[in-house]
Chains A and B, each alone.
Chain A
Amino acid sequence: MKWNKESDVKQPSAERRGSAGLGSALAEYRGFGMGFGRESERAEEIENIDFKMVTFSLAGKDYGIDIMKVKEIAKFGRFTYVPNTRPFVTGVYNLRGEIISIIDLRLLFNLPVEPRDQDEPQDGLILRLENNLIGVVVDRIDRVVGISSESIQPPHPIFADINISYISGVVEHEERLYIILDAERIFTKDNRATDPQQRSDRGGERAAVGEGLAAQPGSDVEYRKQPTAERADSAAGQSPGGLESGDSDAGSTEVRDASATREAAAGDDSEFGFVVDGLATFGKLQYSAVNRDWLKQRYVQWATERRSAGKQAQLAGEQDADEFMLPFFSPCTARLWEQTYAEAVRAVLPDFDAAIVNAWNPGCGKGYESYSLAALLTEAYQGKRVKVFAGDNDLLRISTAPSLVLSPEEIPAYLQPYCAETRNGIGFSDRLKNSILFEYHDVLHESDVPETHVVLCRDLISLLPSDEQERLLTKIYEALVHGGILITGKNERLAHDGRWEVVGPEVSAYRKV
């Protein structure tokens, strides 16, 4: 995945490939040309196999589940039937002393089950979910397939025979098309909703946005937790995710169900949920407390604009998503900060006692903002040593950062003293360059972060998966010194959880309390 905030206006997948370097760019190119099939396959072979999945078949179609979720592949026989459960709950099973519940995926997805001998053991998988194990019965286990996660394509609404929100993607491998199921979404309740503290922090809305069955009444989450409990509502109860609807309308019913659960979040419009999903699918933004206010306000504006133009509020494609996101980004994204913005940032910088002032700039892209920040810090903390740690996981962008070339007209006044003539044109002086350390780094990876006074992290948090957002915020909080400053995107808000204190009205910045 790619968390570079500069990807705002371009297609992320293309960007990612762009960063891949010559080898894969070539492979990509050949791939388009066709007729070079073997050549491109060979080039792809040395590409990164970073996603392995266990594949299996259900009603003749191929599916995959992330191998990290699979504890083991098993043959299930002799289940203990549990009365009064939903039809897809096959029973409970004794796995070496641990009782796990078994779900028949074919019944869950409303697919035909081949008749078979009752006593014959059936193929299945034991999945390791967040906190528990669950067994699923499938037609046949195939094998383990390794692919590059970049080749996974987002699900398309046309795969309606399984609720689209259960599908994390589609991938082609050796001329077979695998539908990758998202085990967490199918079987797990959105864990954010289960943590009472977080729930109160972020309000119920966020929980309601959670995908899958979880948000719906009578969901199988309850079965999972108490497989043997009696369930009087099962006969009359509402079917989760259209499980019992056998007609061709099943897909759309499910989608409507899912959006209905999000209605609470939007307040007035069920299409809000689609927009949230769309943004996540296109890798633009992940809905969370950080960007909730903006997203709602932008949605209202967007829907009004679109309706007056006679269009639907839904995001029909990447282009729509880009358009939707346009106002999100902070001023001077991916370029040198203008004088006014720089002055506003300068105004929120407090005095620090230390002799060394460290700053951290994850998601720095080509480094324009890191240079701007380094210059401001040097100016603000004269006599102290300023060090900016800037990182990005886009190799191509970050590679250009250390030797950035500028055009004279784009250099604002406050940066003038830090510019110098270099071999390739006007660049930054060695003095400024030496105060910045550019790293090829992925913020999602474990790494040591030095004690930091200022963190510049604009429009990056919102692009991460929602659980990672919280992790990164905690990481930032821990890295900052007491009284340290976090500068976020102009539309990003931190929760009032006692950790942060708002500073400066002109720049969205927070002080560690």
Chain B
Amino acid sequence: MKQFVSLIKKEFHHILRDRRTMFILLGMPIAQIILFGFALTNEVKNARIAVYDQSKDIATAALITEINSSRYFDIENNLNSYKEIEETFKKGSIKLAIVFPQNFHDDLQHFNKAQVQLVTDASDPNTANALSNYATAIIKDYENRITNDRKLPYTIKTETRMLYNPQLKGSYSMVPGVMAMVLMLVCTMMTAITIVKEKELGTMEILLVSPLKPIKIIVAKAVPYLLLSIVNISTILLLSVFVLEVPINGSLLLLIFESVLFTLVCLAFGLLISASTGSQQIAMFISLTGMFLPTIMLSGFMFPIENMPLPLQIISNIVPAKWYYSIVNAVMIKGAGIEIVWKQTLVLAGITLLLLALSIRKFKIRLA
């Protein structure tokens, strides 16, 4: 035990003395949560839009006022032709154009039906989608209000020139993704690097010649990063609750338990990497391509898995972050309990055991 404490103390010295790495490790979650939470948010405020009103009647005027007064939109200019819409989009000065056809009010009065067209700048699909959703909501709202005192309901049909993108779930689905990413970076990459570093320096040999059991050396390497990860998880959760105003709807205990489980997956993976290579650069490269990229691409955090081609959907099942992401999403955002996420938890636990067994085996082979 005393030996073990010596080892852990030493690891902490390494981490604490390397100020820059410390700064990155503790600062990264803050930077990421703020980046993903604010800068990359899908929620759009005060987007500049244009209106092409071919009807110019009381109904369109009322709707335009409605839209302009919402906090989402600022009407930038009024256009007079379809050609102008395209030109304005090309200049990039607007994100959305609303087109009212001729006789809007008349159609509404006589046929109880009218059409609005929403044209969005699809080069930024997320924003485009969010904007068209907001605009549609405002129009529906207006429609409900004017229908109130009539027998036959008015319907204003909105037609959006863009396909629905199911991935768009609002800014706070980013939080589970950032948690997965940060844990991966801290645990996988840092453990892999710190073990490989000792190999490069030759100190690993000294440790292996000592009476310490190899497994103790490895566990001692992992403990400080496990603690760091818990600090990071807390930072992320605090930031998301108090800064991004994302509530934790499920059990906090369950959330932490799942996060520790995922941390173990990452540590095991880092260990596996460190056992397979002797150079820090390669360790870093494998961590990035083997863990970080799949986490971003295939966990469902950036791109919806259900939209992927079948082979990728199948591959995504072996990405631990996919399971962790869906667990955190369910627990934190939807308030699910263990009775809902037990399957994912089991898969994650399975992957952990597999990776741990593999890496310990690999470590032993290297010693023989």
User: Do they bind each other?
Assistant: no
Q: Please list the residues of chain B having a beta carbon within 8 angstroms of any beta carbon in chain A.
A: none
